[in-house]
Each structure stands twice: as C-alpha cells, then as structure tokens.
Amino acid sequence: MKKGQILEGVVERVDFPNKGIVRAEVPQGEDGFSVGYAVVKGVLPGQRISFSVKKARKNKCEGRLREILESGPLEMREARCMHFGTCGGCNYQKIPYEKQLELKKSQVLRLIDEVYQGDGYQYDGILGVSENGSLREWRYRNKMEFSFGDAVKDGPLTLGLHRKGSFHDIVDAEGCEIVHEDYSKVLACVRDYAKEHQLSYYHKRDHVGLLRHLLVRRAEATGEMLVALVTSSQQQIDYSELVEKLLALELEGELVGILHIINDSLGDVVQSDETEILYGRDWFEDTVLGLNFKISPFSFFQTNTKGAEVLYERVRRYVLGRYEYSASPDNGQGALRGEEVSGFWDKTVFDLYSGTGTIAQLIAPVAKKVIGVEIVEEAVEAAKENARRNGLNNCEFIAGDVLKVIDEIREKPDYIILDPPREGIHPKALTKIIDYGVENIVYISCKPTSFARDLAVFQEHGYMLERISNVDLFPETVHIETICKLSRQN
C-alpha cells in the first residue's frame, strides 16, 4: 500500500471511536490482489468502501473515506435527520437502536479485555432508551455549539456543524434531530440576522472576520434557555436588533439570557475573553435527581440531562455498593433510604474533576464530607453556590489542577470518584491518586480508550476491575459513557 493509492475493501469491524478496520484489496501486479488492513473513520460494519491511503506501513495503513460502495447489514432503517451524510455528527442513524447498543457494548468490552489481567469482572449491562422516558433517543441534548462558516469555499454564510470529514466546511444545522425544536428557531434567527447585515464569519486560516460560534443551552426541567453569540473583537456591532428578534421568537422554553462573548484566541474553541450580558442573566437553572443546579455558559454539565440522572444513579449505587436497579432512579429524589447507606456515613469522599459538583452533591447526603477538585474556576464557584442552594454544608470545592491540588489537601479520602476529561488522567496525577491507597475507586469515562489506558496503570498498582457498565448518553452517535468500580487487592 502506498500513500495516495485508491483502494477498495470491506469493513470487518468498527472500534471506538468510529475507527473502521477495513480488509483492503491491494493490486499485486497483473495477477491479482493481496490483502492488507486499513483504519478508516466514518464507516459502519459490513460496508464496502473506497478510500485513499493517507499513511502506509507494509500491509497496514490509515485511509480517508472516499465513497460507500455497498451498505452494511446493520443499516436497516432510513436516517431521520435531513443532514445525515453531510453533517459529521450522528453516524449511527441508519442502525436500529438496539443494534447501536450492541455495537457500543462490544467496542467497550473489546478495549477492556485487551488490558484486563484479573480473573473476571461483572458487566452490569448498557442502559439505553427506556419506555419511561428517563433516556430518549431523540431531542436529548441540552447544549450545542454551532459554528459560523461556509459549506463550500467562498460560499454564502452558514451556521451549523462541521461537514463530515472536514475541519473548515460548515453544514447548516437547522432541523437537527438530537436537540429541542427551540434550537432550530434560535439558529435560524441568528443566521438570518447575520446574512441580512452582511456580517463576516471568522476564517480559521488567516484569523480574520467577526462571527465565530453560537452557544445555546436549554434546561430539561425548567425550559430556561441561554443564548451566547461568540465573536472576535475585530468589529463593533450594536446587537439590540438581534436581541429583539430573539425575544420575539415563539419558543416552548423561556429565553432568560442573551450574551455577547468576545473570543480572540487562535484556536477553534468556545471561550471568553470578555462577556457582555445583552439581556437577562448569564445563567439558567436545571434539576437532577431532586437537586437544583445553577449553570453558567461554560459550566460542565452533562449534555443529556435525563441521561445524567440515570448515569449518576448508577454511579451512586456503585459508590455505595448497592447494585440492584429499579426501572427509574430511586424515588426521583436526591437521597437514598437510610438502610441503603449504612456504613457509609463516616466516609470522606474525593470527587476529582468535579465540574459543577453534581456528583459531589448527590453523594454528600450520605457522606461525612465531600471534597471536589476542578480546574475551571467558574465551575467551582457554581458548585459552591449550588451546594448552598441545595442546603449541603459538608461539600468543599477547590479550584485548581488535580495534579497540584491534592498535595495541598490535609484530609485523606476514604473513597475516590474520578470523572476526568476525555483524555483521561495525567500520569503523575494518577500515581498520586493511587498512592492514597483507598479500598475502592469509581471511574466515569466518556472515552473508553482513555479509561483502558488508565486501567493498565491501576492494575500495575494492585487495583482490579470489579464492575463495569455503560449508559448511552449519546444515541445515534459513536459515543458512550462508561462507569467502572475498581477495588484494591491485597
């Protein structure tokens, strides 16, 4: 296989995250073909595809998808979204939902089994869409970051999501099926305003232009919405007309805040150098398992609120060692029954990478003390206020890098909960966490490849995987949430 070569092949399997293992047919002179293997993203099991070779090494290579020549056996239904195939978001739409769960389960367990060295572990299944509505297949996301750009080079302005396989091209996302209809109304309003006033979009290559992103967040329980227009500082605009247009929209939810955020960073990220409140306030409220949370534009909060309730209920029961689950979260309230938590009241719990403190506050009612550590100061301030709002006085939240902060904490944990970012835990921080020597650790991961890497280190230091389960917070997509309980062996 050579760089630039165009080959065909069949996708034998898809590994997380969305990496197709393709059995490629490589021309061998005039006499036939030899067999090689390629990794190609954005494909499904059983598809016959053509691809171009990006990197080649003997009989293995990385390829870029060119065309799907034949559908795979899992593609058993029509895609629901009009943008399917062009938008790079929801690649599993043509797969029946139960088959999606099977595919994600096999991907996670394959990763775990490649590194696991113990006698066995308990797999507690994958929790997916339920009849009682605690998990939904569609309209589940509570946060979207839309990008300004164009669908083709030098084309008209668009506002939406990245085209499949492209860093620069933006596909209009009006009508996206994994968010509430209110999102499409807001998107269309802002897009049309920008076109009407001929506002420029920010070009990633030369860093020139005004419009960068549109951030929209919507509470599941209250319907409160926050809209933030993210721009560079290269042009001064009076946005009062846009505010009037947004407030005039007929929304099912309630628009409680409209913000203008200036971001002059060179990276394609949504962040704030300066924030101006154009209307209302810069936060909204939502509810998880009976607890109220104040959420600001950049606060970490699970993007699927209903799914978060299922996820956190399972996390809580892993922490408490109670593994029987009802069809819905326990009584819909923040606390468990007293008999379910006996023996845990005197525990000090570390919630590392705590975000806005959601997990910490769900554990606090049954613990002696919970200490959360989070690097984003805004999230820490929100966590402190949320704890006060929920009447929890045994929570402490510290702003800083876990690697540095845990050296400064005087208390020692009896239990540790880990919910790190996608790339997992810094190796030096992981060593310090292990050195506490606690009996049990619960690890929540949105990227099982990162967890598998960290699991290998845990095993080297005497921690073995006791239980694992998955929660499908991201139907139609390649992503999956994983919860694991690790126990220290003598």
Q: Which residue has the tokens 């089994």?
A: 113
State both tokens at 350.
Answer: 């570390």
Contact yes or no for 273/265 (Cβ under 8 A) = yes
DSSP result, 98-112? HHHHHHHHHHHHHHH
Instruction: Considering the candidates 81, 87, 446, 484, report the single residue annotated as catalytic.
Output: 446
Query: 259 - beta bridge partners?
Result: 228, 277
Q: Which of 395, 485, 398 is CA-nearest to residue 445?
A: 485
* Rounded-to-integer distance, Cα 201 and Cα 150, Å: 9
Q: What is the greatest pairwise CA distance in the chain?
A: 77
- Whole-number Å distance between alpha carbons of 224 and 404: 37
Nearest to 443 by CA among 351, 329, 334, 365: 351
Cβ proximity of 112 and 453 under 8 Å: no
Query: What is the secondary structure of 348-416 as a DSSP string?
Result: EEEEES-TTTHHHHHHGGGSSEEEEEES-HHHHHHHHHHHHHTT--SEEEEES-HHHHTTT--S--SEE
The CA dihedral of 288, 293, 295, 298, to the nearest 10 degrees, is -70
Amino acid sitting at position 227? V
DSSP for residue 202: P
Q: Decide if 12 contacts 45 (C-beta within 8 A).
A: yes
Radius of gyration for the alpha carbons in the chain, expressed in angstroms and rounded: 24
- Per-residue tokens: 270: 């949504």
Task: Find all residues with CB under 8 Å of 196, minimum gap 6, and list them.
Answer: none
Count of residues in the chain: 490
Tokens standing for 450? 């990162």
Residue 61: active-site member: no
Residues recognised as catalytic: 446
